[in-house]
Amino acid sequence: MEEQLLQMICNQRFIKGHPDTWLWKDDDDEVFSVKSAYYKLQGNFVEEEDKVFHMLWNTKVTPKAQFLGWRISLDKLPTKDNLIVRGVQLQHNLCELCQVSAESVDHLFSSCRVAQKVWNLCDNWLGVSSVHHFKARENFKHFSIINLNTRQNSIWRGMWLAIVEEIWKHRNWVIFKQRKVDPDEIFGLAQVIAWVWMKHKISSVNFSYSDWVFSPLSCLKSL
């Protein structure tokens, strides 16, 4: 927020012959107030949030998966960092998938080496290489394919939700069922679940699961 405020302050015009003075263009009387700055920044945030929610609600997945995406984007999941803030006593705050870094939404779904392996498997599957953002919300926003249209990319974002749903499920299996960490399993299950969602939610889907696995781009372009 400080950075945004600084940007707003620096983005000023200079008028020749006028004494230097501060004019705050976001308030009617052009006087700076914390209130008007707050509303200005809050407005940007709401706009940004609206964009993410709009993208989430346009996916063709289950409401449960959309709800998970919504909780991730607002950092509302009971990850260890959030539990500690709420006063929950834990044995340790380490991520269960890598056992190296503290568990947070951004770590678990984006920067964790296990999550990175899963996103890389997804890139290899498509035959592309991309840099994945370390913030989960940004990762979602940029999860699109350049030669797909808007509708096809909305459907493609279902794959993002399938991956995060499987990461979350896998993390819980590791904690509560002592399962072995397996990024290939996470990705394989995400491929299945994304195909099942498409099959049930989109009437024009006429490709098989093996078509989906062997040529995902052709399948998406057919929608």
Binding stretches for Zn ion (CB under 5 A): 95, 97-98, 112
The CB-side HSE value for 204 (13 A sphere, CA atoms) comes to 9
Least Å distance between CB 154 and Zn ion? 29
Least Å distance between CB 107 and Zn ion? 6
User: What count of other Cβ atoms lies within 10 Å of the Cβ of residue 51?
Assistant: 11
Least Å distance between CB 101 and Zn ion? 5
Both tokens assigned to 101: 């870094």
User: Which sign does the torsion angle of CA 189, 106, 51, 168 carry?
Assistant: positive
Least Å distance between CB 168 and Zn ion? 13
Would you say 61 or 95 has its CB closer to Zn ion? 95
Would you say 98 or 161 has its CB closer to Zn ion? 98
Would you say 158 or 183 has its CB closer to Zn ion? 183
Both tokens assigned to 118: 């899963």
Give the C-alpha separation, 53 to 41, whole Å.
18
Would you say 105 or 112 has its CB closer to Zn ion? 112
Would you say 55 or 166 has its CB closer to Zn ion? 166
Least Å distance between CB 174 and Zn ion? 11
User: Which sign does the torsion angle of CA 129, 133, 137, 141 carry?
Assistant: negative
Q: Taking each helix axis from N to C terminus, what angle separates 63-73 and 150-177, rounded to the nearest 10 degrees?
A: 80
